[in-house]
Amino acid sequence: MCGLAGFIGFENNLELACNANEIQKHRGPDGQHTWNDNHLALAHQRLSIIDLSPKADQPFHKENLVIVFNGEIYNYKELKETILKVKKIDFVSNSDTEIILEYYLLYGEKCLDYFVGMFAFAIYNTLNKNLFIARDHFGIKPLFYTLTKYGFAFASELKSLVQIPGFDKSVNYKSLVSSLNYVWVSGNETMFNNCYKLPPANYIIVKPDLHFSLVKYWHLPEKKCTDSPESIVKELRKALVDSVKRHMVADVPVSSFLSGGLDSSLISVLMAKYEKNLSTYTIGTSAKDKKVEQMPDDQKFAKELAELHHFNHHEIIISADIVKMLPKMVRSLDEPIGDPSAINTFIICEAARKRGIKVLLSGMGADEIFGGYRKSRAVLYALQFKKLPYTVQKIIHRFVNILPVKILGRGILFTRWTKRFLGFASLPLEEAFMRSYSYYSRGELNLLFKENHELEVDLIFKEHSGVFNSGFNGDVVNQMCNTDVQMFLLGLNLTCTDRASMAASVEVRVPYVDKEFLSYSMSIPGVLKIKNGESKFILKKVAEKILPLKIVYRPKAPFSAPIRSWMSNELKPLVDELLSREVVEKRGLFNYSFIKHIIDEDRNGFEDNAYRIYQLLTVELWFREFIDK
């Protein structure tokens, strides 16, 4: 895990590469190096995990190729054995970086067919001046790029590109609308016009004249497993064990997140087979915050599992100064992402790093793949709700609308969830799924913005519809899972985790988001993922022989921060300052009256608008960091 950047055509290529090394130093504190010729300059920041020797430093130069690489190729040892049967190679390191280079020498762009891992890399041919840039199958590792009138540039983080000559700092309003709607930026555009994210499972070849085009090198297989449920459980267990084992490859100790829930507990227990005295990390909240949030007691379950398996367990209570941390997190995330779980990730990773840990495994991805979020079940319930007589639906709406979501500072989960459910229950399937995890209706988005952005609003609705209908038609559960993998996992969870963990110089690996494991999991029929109202049914069957049943079947607990408590306490003065009439009208983006309405409803306990308000804070702070400076 590292950081990288490259610059072609600028008068100060090398200077820009050195700047990128400084800006992204947190991604690779173990070494920052550059390589350049008269056409290009490459930058690399190294976090040493595989082959800790200087021989594996990057940029890595061999024959006529130079590579910068961020990530890990988990099957690199097997690939090394295989390629040595085909040709004689004098390896100069024991790194996965050199494996990538040798496979590219042998197979060209087809080398990507062999890699199982997470990666973003660029390979430069010093003879023909072509630059080959590729990103992993699911977008676990980031890669931004832009073409200005002066040259072409790419980097692991957006903040390294903003400072280059000719960078277009005009705001992409489709991305802005998306960030308000989802609290993260969907698609492959960024918050800036003419700056993009390399899509997952894509590569580009930049010619010496800077012409390039995107090429899709892999598609998620759309197969349907027809085996018996018992056979699927057996095969799924094997696939997960194999993935965890792959993700343990490292020349440094590997630890894990442990929330006490199904997904991370499974990963941690399987890891313990390969890592003696496994260190685990759990985030906790104070009693005050639990009262407002009605949050589950993750610490209790995590501690019990750790004691059962003799983990070296660490419990970190969220006690950060959120007012000071929020602006720093906005800068780290590159984009206005209004999910406070990024703060959790940073706090855990920072604590692990102080204990000498560079690698953590996470249970991320299981919810997307196996329909684990409440929204997936809620959409299925909505299909039944729509069958009720219209008059009954209307009575339910009227009754729930008058209920408060908070009384005397104490949150009421039932009302919060029911109001959210009724906000999409009557919509068509695809729209209902989109609305289940977005924060505004189409009409509310138009009310929020001061100027007319109906075109951009329409674009994000069409984008979601296109993804939802792109595969697995006829299997509603897998349609939702596929959409989550392509949108929610990519746009929010992987993005947040990479930026927040790397801000603390820690690599997070995600065994559920593994090419082999995920491909098999998506072949499992949706009826085995959500069955009789039980989410992640088939994964729970796998877990029954590995975990205590009270952990397997405990209610889902989100990996979140006490955002509602923050809104009522620590962040309240910041809301009054950054979302005041003066600030909102000076920024000129939003209708102040609508924002005031959102804040008032939240503070009166009538609606739960905590995430809406948190994202509005995030957007204002992002503009101050990336536009105003």
More confident residue, 545 or 562: 545
Tell me 199's DSSP state.
P
| pLDDT band at 319; cut points 50, 70, 90 | confident
Instruction: Give percent of the chain with pLDDT exceeding 90.
Output: 84
Give the pLDDT of residue 100.
98
3-class SS of residue 73: strand
**C-alpha distances out from residue 346 to 157, 413, 498, 508, 580, Å:** 16, 27, 10, 11, 29
Reply yes or no on whether the pLDDT at 235 is more than 60.
Answer: yes
* Mean pLDDT, range 3-12, rounded to an integer: 97
What's the pLDDT tens digit per position in 586-600? Answer: 999 999 999 999 999
Question: Residue 599: which of 589, 587, 585, 613 has the closest Cα?
Answer: 613
Instruction: Give percent of the chain with pLDDT exceeding 70.
Output: 97
What's the pLDDT tens digit per position in 56-83? Answer: 999 999 999 999 999 999 999 999 999 9
Q: Which residues contact 106 (CB under 8 A, 6 or more apart)?
A: 83, 86, 87
What's the pLDDT tens digit per position in 357-367? Answer: 999 999 999 99
Reply yes or no on whether the pLDDT at 472 is more than 90.
Answer: yes
What's the pLDDT tens digit per position in 83-109? Answer: 999 999 999 999 999 999 999 999 999
3-class SS of residue 527: helix
| pLDDT band at 629; cut points 50, 70, 90 | confident
Give the pLDDT of residue 568.
87
Reply yes or no on whether the pLDDT at 525 is more than 80.
Answer: yes
Burial class (CB in 10 A: 0-12, 13-18, 19+), 571: buried
Tell me 27's DSSP state.
G
What's the pLDDT tens digit per position in 179-214? Answer: 999 999 999 999 999 999 999 999 999 999 999 999
Rounded Cα gap, residues 390 and 486, in angstroms: 35
Rounded Cα gap, residues 18 and 163, in angstroms: 12
Give the pLDDT of residue 606.
85
Q: What is the DSSP string of 428-445?
A: -HHHHHHHHS-S--HHHH
Tell me 490's DSSP state.
I
What's the pLDDT tens digit per position in 152-162? Answer: 999 999 999 99
Q: Which residues contact 111 (CB under 8 A, 6 or more apart)?
A: 100, 103, 104
